[in-house]
Each structure stands twice: as C-alpha cells, then as structure tokens.
Amino acid sequence: MIGKTRSAGSGVILDSQGYVLTNAHVIAGAAAVEVRLPALIESGSPGKSILRGQGKRFWAEIVGVDPETDLAVLKLPAEGLPSLTFGDSDQVRQGQLVLAFGSPLGLENSVTMGVVSATARQLRPEDPMIYIQTDTPINPGNSGGPLVDLQGRVVGINTFILSQSGGSEGIGFAAPSNIAENVLKQLGTTGHVRRGTIDVYAQTISPELAQGLSLTRDWGVILGDVFPGGAADRAGLKEGDVILALNGKVMENARQLEVNIYRQTVGERVSLDVLRGVDCLKMEVVVRTRDLDPERFSARVSVTNNRVQRLGILAVSLDAKISQELPPLRRHEGVLVAARVAPAFPGEEQLLPGDVIYSVSGVRVKDLEGLRSAVSGLDASKPAVVQLEREGKVRYLVIWLEDRESR
C-alpha cells in the first residue's frame, strides 16, 4: 500500500534572496518541501502580545543536496527575507555558550542553550567530516536548525544526536559553519559540491617519528608521500617536508590538514608554511578535484526512480557506460551506490557513494530491481550483510535497515 507521509525539521535562512540551509535527511525522499517562517512583528505594530500568528508559507525549490555532509540547500520564492550570517567555527572553543534554534518535536521556533562539549569530533576513522559536539538540548525536529554563538552568528548546523531514549541526552552534533558555508556556496552556484586534494599523504608527527628522523619538533604534520605529477609535486613540495601552517593556521596533526583541505574550493590556491631541514619555505598549491569523486553519479539519479528506501541510498544498475567510468571491477553485474538519502546511525558501518553491491544476505544482486527485491523481505530486527566492492576490495558490510525499530 502506497500512501503519503510527512516529516518535519528545521532550517536557517542565510541569504536575503531566500536560500535556506538544512539537513539532507530532513528532505530525503520528499516530493515537495514546504517552508513555514515564524511570524514576524509587522512594521508599526507595538509588538506587546506574546502570542504570534502563523508565519508565511512557501513551497521551496531543492537547489542541491550534499550527502557527504548531510546538508541541503533550498530556495524560497521571496526576497528581502531576514537572514543570519556565518561565524568562524574554527574560533569556537570548548565550554563556549551556544544556542540551538529549531522545532523540536514540532514545537516551532524554540531555543535552547548549552555549551560546546568538543570542537572537532570525528565519529568514524575514515570519515573526513567532523562535528561540533554540544550539550545544548537537541531533539528530533531540531535537525537542520542553526547552532548560534552569543553574537548571533551561525557556527554550526544541528545534524543529529546520540541517544538511548530517542530524546536529548546532552550529546548533539552540528556540522561546523566553515564546512556548511562552503557547501552552501557550491550548491547555490552549481547544484553540486566538488571537493579538493593537493595529492599528498600526510602523517602526524609522533615523538618516536621525530626522533628517528632527527626532526626539530615532535608534533605537527609531515608529508610521507607526494604523489608524482600531482598538485603538490608541481608546486615543489617533497617527501619529508613538515607542514607548519595552512593559510596562516598552525597545523597540529594530519587530520587537521586533511579536514582543512577537504573544505577548500576546487581551483583555489592554498598557502603552506613548510619546514624543509632548517629552511622555512612558503609555497602555494592549487587545490584540484579529487579523482573519481564517488559523488559524481549523484546528478544522474533521482529519489523517484533510484531510491532503495530500506538501505537509505540512491542507486543505479551497472551498465557498460557506468562501468567504463569506474576503476576495473571484479564483477560485471551489480548495483552502484550513487548517493545516500539517509544518514547511518553514528558509529555504524554504512554504504558509501561509489560502493558496488554484489549481494545482500547471500542473494546475488544483478540490477536495481534485484536489489530492491533482495532487501524487501529481510527482517528489520536483524542486520543485513551486504557484499560489495569498495576501492578495489571486495568485503562484507553489516548494516541495519532504515525501517528498524529503535534499539
């Protein structure tokens, strides 16, 4: 039986032209998106009543979705709207007071207050995305709303919580504003997000590594590899170079360098302060598009035609044309994951764009319809085992279906 369902979330206007930033999972699978603005005090009104009428409603255009950061941009058919501005999330500090705005459990235009618990929380080792962790009460419905500092600047976009009860337990996570601002800019301009690289393998300097290489410092970032012919190689960087700073910001570890390059706009030049032996050098490197960006197929799919709801993905059957655009695969039949439309539970394994699915719980999958059929009869209370190929390696992945009960 097919029927209509409704879901709700929050968002924030960040441009007077009507651009709204929210979470991708808030609008996942939506046939239409309605945005309801809070009621504003009209000009000339004394504004003494604590009760407000209903605000204006708009049907919003979905400008673009970025599954990797779980962010989406909407456009309202209106101009001159009040908007907030971004703050610098790199300046956010542990213990800082912040406010969360949104519609928790449908209670519109609510605000809660708390502190920043951690400034760069990474939940999965291989995930380049980091979050601001906060104990500000965040509940279902807050997703997509702004995390705001005491100066009224947006320093994050509230994205998800960790909870055993389903409600706020003081562990909430927000996408940092410096990442969100870049996503908003790219989605608003081109409808998709390109991410960059400078073609290096960076490593965190440990005291043991510093001692073994006779380095003058026992912390920071060293380049273990500079890929031949890549952007860094063309700029003159070499293996063994120590990266002191990126665009004037001190680099304390390899993860910090990766995250800061991750959010740079493709084509921009980044300035690196480099220590080579005893010489301090200043070098500029052009950020280029990551090779074989797994998100590149997302423009070819739609929620209507390509959604596999129980896996929370948009997928497409392998054919000769798509196979030519992929690295050599171990098999010639399967289903390519083009994008995620629902985030996995934090800490869980998840299907990623670029994965090629070969089987589900022992059932071979040849095409998209075969994948839908394979997952349709699975028990939601038990994990599914997906056999897939990722970066040239065939592996098993244990995942939970999207319609499972809270556990």
Cα dihedral 216→221→222→223 (10° resolution)? -160
Q: Residue 199: CB partners within 8 Å, gap ≥ 6?
A: 226, 227, 230, 231, 232, 233, 288
Closest Cα to residue 103, out of 150, 139, 71? 139
Pseudo-torsion of CA 89, 95, 97, 98, nearest 10°?
A: 50
How far apart are alpha carbons 361 and 387 in whole angstroms? 8
Question: How far is the CA of 396 from the CAs of 124, 311, 345, 357, 358, in angstroms?
Answer: 18, 15, 18, 10, 10
Q: How many residues does the chain have?
A: 407
Cβ(180)–Cβ(71) below 8 Å: yes
Q: Dump the DSSP string for 115-168.
A: EEEEEEE-SSTT----EEEE-S---TT-TTPEEE-TTS-EEEEEEEE--SSSS-
Please state, in angstroms and as integers, the Cα–Cα distance from residue 75 to each residue in 16, 63, 72, following that order. 11, 6, 10
Active site residues: 25, 70, 143
Quote the CA–CA distance of 397 and 385 in Å, as a whole number: 6
Structure tokens, 378: 């699975």
SS3 64: strand
Give every CB contact of residue 75 below 8 A, 6+ residues apart in sequence. Answer: 17, 18, 19, 20, 60, 61, 63
